[in-house]
Amino acid sequence: MMTFAMLGFVLSVREGRRVLFHASLLVACLCLSASVTAAFLAPSLSSIYKKSSSLHALSSSSANEGFVQVSRPDGSEHKLSYRVVRPMNLSSKQAAPIVALHGGPSVPSNYLYPLEDVVQYRSIVFYDQLGCGKSDQPTDITQYSIEDSVEDLKVLLKKLGVRKFHLYGQSYGGILAFEYMKSV
């Protein structure tokens, strides 16, 4: 199952079937195809921001951090930084992990860290997109594209072994989530 959140909307996907919810009211439900099971409610960002400053003091949740290597069509390679909160729940069948996609440009993922305090029973995968935070920051603008960012996300998910998940995109991350959804 995957969930996509952008500009107040949540799109939940389970094995190719989609349903669209208004995140703040959850009143209207538009089924884009039949037989949909949706079971995720994204917290409002305003409630998250009230709990923290721009740099979140990390809670006591266990987390793994690392880098994943991505490549570009021209042969160049770059490292992307990631952080997995509650990694022991990453393969849970009862509570799929959340993959959080930050906004941008050049904004690191750490402003989304308060999600780990709001959603305390799931794994959450944060990563800094190319050019952001702890990830490589190439100066050649040809290294940046939405298509490459979607491929970077696929490489990260494969490295972590994540198959079913909720996709949470904020601002540019919402665009990236939408483009990812179109590609699968």
Residue range 80-116, pLDDT digits in tens: 999 999 999 898 888 999 999 999 878 999 999 999 9
**Rounded to whole angstroms, how far apart are CA atoms 107 and 168?**
16
Q: What pLDDT, on the 0 to 100 scale, is given for residue 61?
A: 73
Mean pLDDT (whole number) for 17-38? 28
Query: According to the model, what pLDDT value does residue 160 have?
Result: 96
Alpha-carbon span 149 to 154, nearest angstrom:
9
Question: Residues 133-146: what's their mean pLDDT?
Answer: 96
Residue 12's H or E segment, with its range, is strand 9-14
Helices (H), the chain: 45-50, 115-118, 146-160, 172-183
Average pLDDT, the chain: 76
Which three-class secondary structure state does DSSP give residue 100?
A: strand
Residue 80 has what pLDDT?
A: 98
Parallel/antiparallel/unpaired status of strands 98-101 and 124-127? parallel
